[in-house]
Amino acid sequence: MNSSFRTLFVLTLSIVQSALAADKPPNIVVILADDLGYNDIGLHGNTMVRTPNIDRIGMEGMRFTRGHTSNATCSPSRAGLMTGRNQQRFGYEFVVVPPTFVSAFNGQLTGANDGNIITEIPTDKQVPMEEMGVPPSEFTMAELVKTAGYRTGVVGKWHIGAAPQFQPLQQGFDFFTGTLQGAALFDEENDPKVVNAKLEWDGIDKFLWNMLNTQMLRDGKPYKPEEYMTDFYANEALRFINESKDNPFLLYLAFTAPHTPLQAPKDIYDRLDYIADHKTRVYYAMIESMDLAIGRVMDHLKLLGLEENTLVVFSSDNGGAPYTRIPGTNAPFRGSKATYFQGGVVVPYLVKWPAKIAAGQVSSTPVSLLDIYPTVAAATGAALPGSVALDGVNLLPLLTGASDGPVHKALVWRSGTYKAVLSGDYRLQIDGTQKKDFLYNVSVDVGERNNLAASMPEKVAELRAIIEKAETEFIEPIWQTPAYSKVPADTWPTTIPENAEFVYFPI
């Protein structure tokens, strides 16, 4: 076959595949990393980590430079993703953790119990964990697409309710393999095939190493994987795709990487010998492992002829964690997980659908994980629930070039007395514990260094009014946070300087 004929053949085949794809409902693959910072992928300029498969999702579709989560911690953010609604609308305001978790935060940032914790709700007044989860009355993304004939599966971290009524198989999913909790060991601690990095300064890390194991659920039964957890999740994702390939499907693939505890495959760790710091090397090896797993899933879709008509979304539940003490994980933004600075809520946000979305696009339009739900509805033809208010917006017009945004008048965040809003060029944070406002013009101050609150009281009042209006549609939290934790605005390698800025975020 000569080169010109081969080119014509490939072009014709591509046109035929696109035409066939246009007549079929797309498959949906939503991939969520855990505590992955904006700067933790190669596509965003990080030269220490290799993420060609993640990068490819953005290069073959649209990359959003201002993709936001609905919270700065994992559990509420996932509740918003799964419903398309600000999770405060149904009382899901705080992380699902046992009250005893408070003890893990004492000294997490400085190595000593120096007043980082403000206790809010006594332990004896806490709601039992069995009552914490996305209420069954909410119409999940899985329940949404099932009305359009989809098979649904979730592989990985759930963390939006462990009691039977909150579990995936009771919330619209046909298939579930993973952990119901917020974390798990990636492999046995003493397995020679992994390299561990313990964070001796971090109470959370000590708590996790003491409490976690590798056991999870598979097909409704306890299961102990023999392989590294990220690889196991990839295997299970392929199993679900193989079982579902003859029908349209939704796969929610929620990795636990690179959340602590830090454990990486030794073979990948060994390849990253150019990284001097041990914990950083383990961290980026975990991300590279996840990238390889995502590559296996993407390659399998292509092998089965499903790539052209599969809508793939890749993102993270929140920004990189401060307690890992890895510099630059959320660059160029200030802040981290557990803050409403941009580093806590602006994350990688990549979308591709070859049949509909042109490759190589970059958008600076602010979008949210909440938008995935209505976008999936529009792509699949599923009817949105008419009885509830959605906060997400259908992104298909933006993704396909029919519109160039903006899509949101404002984005609002709330965790108890800590609140934030983005409207236009301005972001306001309200720390109720300190009675302090943080106002930034992020169009010129991406790093949020010049606090304008004192000099622009009218803008503060305007943005406060947006939050207050949103709050009229929120309900009381189903459960309260056991405490508020002092979190620095900047990640410091050892102790926090006396003049450091910080916020109080609910545990």
So where are the chain's domains? Answer: 26-408+479-506
Task: Label residue 110 by pLDDT band (50, 70, 90).
Answer: very low
Over the chain, what is the mean pLDDT?
Answer: 92
Determine the distance from the C-alpha atom of residue 81 to the mean position of all C-alpha atoms in its chain, rounded to a whole number.
Answer: 9
- Neighbouring CB atoms inside 10 A of 181's CB total 17
Task: Label residue 108 by pLDDT band (50, 70, 90).
Answer: low
Could you say which DSSP state residue 496 is in?
P
Joined together, the tokens standing for residue 404 give: 């160039």
pLDDT digits (tens, 9 = 90+) for 121-165: 666 667 888 999 999 999 999 999 999 999 999 999 999 999 999
What pLDDT is recorded for position 126? Answer: 76
Contacts of 143 (CB under 8 A, 6+ apart): 171, 172
Calculated CA dihedral for residues 52, 55, 59, 61, nearest 10 degrees: 130
What pLDDT is recorded for position 302? Answer: 98
User: DSSP 3-state assignment of 390?
Assistant: coil
- Of 328 and 6, the structure prediction assigns the larger pLDDT to 328
The radius of gyration of the chain from alpha carbons, rounded to an integer in Å, stands at: 22
Cα–Cα nearest to 70, from 419, 503, 413, 389: 413
Return the percent helix, strand and coil in the chain, to nearest 5: 35, 20, 45
User: DSSP 3-state assignment of 220?
Assistant: coil
Give mean pLDDT, residues 473-501: 88
Cα separation, 269 vs 198, in Å, equals 15
Cα–Cα nearest to 346, from 365, 372, 323: 365
Cα–Cα nearest to 131, from 182, 99, 166: 166
Task: Label residue 296 by pLDDT band (50, 70, 90).
Answer: very high
CB 412 within 8 A of CB 86: yes
Q: Which CATH architecture best describes the domain 26-408+479-506?
A: 3-Layer(aba) Sandwich (3.40)
What pLDDT is recorded for position 16? Answer: 46
Say what percent of the chain tops pLDDT 70: 92
pLDDT digits (tens, 9 = 90+) for 398-409: 999 999 878 999
Give mean pLDDT, residues 317-324: 96
- Of 465 and 17, the structure prediction assigns the larger pLDDT to 465
Cα separation, 393 vs 385, in Å, equals 14
Helices (H), 358-506: 372-380, 396-399, 457-471
Give mean pLDDT, residues 174-179: 98
Checking if the pLDDT of 9 tops 50, the result is no
Cα 193 to Cα 260, 266, 290: the distances in Å are 18, 5, 16
Q: Which helix (H) or strand (E) holds 427?
A: strand 426-431
Checking if the pLDDT of 111 tops 50, the result is no
Task: Label residue 50 by pLDDT band (50, 70, 90).
Answer: very high
Cα 460 to Cα 261, 418, 420, 469: the distances in Å are 39, 15, 11, 14
Cα separation, 426 vs 409, in Å, equals 12
CB 278 within 8 A of CB 197: yes
Task: Tell me the CB-side half-sphere exposure of residue 481, using CA atoms within 13 A.
Answer: 23
Checking if the pLDDT of 80 tops 70, the result is yes
What pLDDT is recorded for position 13? Answer: 47
Question: pTM of the predicted model, to two decimals?
Answer: 0.94
Checking if the pLDDT of 484 tops 70, the result is yes
pLDDT digits (tens, 9 = 90+) for 365-391: 999 999 999 999 999 999 999 889 999
Give mean pLDDT, residues 281-290: 98
What pLDDT is recorded for position 182? Answer: 95
Cα separation, 287 vs 39, in Å, equals 12
Cα separation, 462 vs 473, in Å, equals 18
Cα separation, 454 vs 437, in Å, equals 9
Q: Which helix (H) or strand (E) holds 111?
A: none
- As to burial, measured by CB atoms within 10 angstroms (0-12 exposed, 13-18 middle, 19+ buried), residue 469 is exposed
Place of tokens 């119901």: 180
Checking if the pLDDT of 327 tops 50, the result is yes
Joined together, the tokens standing for residue 141 give: 């993304």
What pLDDT is recorded for position 118? Answer: 78
Checking if the pLDDT of 335 tops 60, the result is yes
What pLDDT is recorded for position 21? Answer: 52
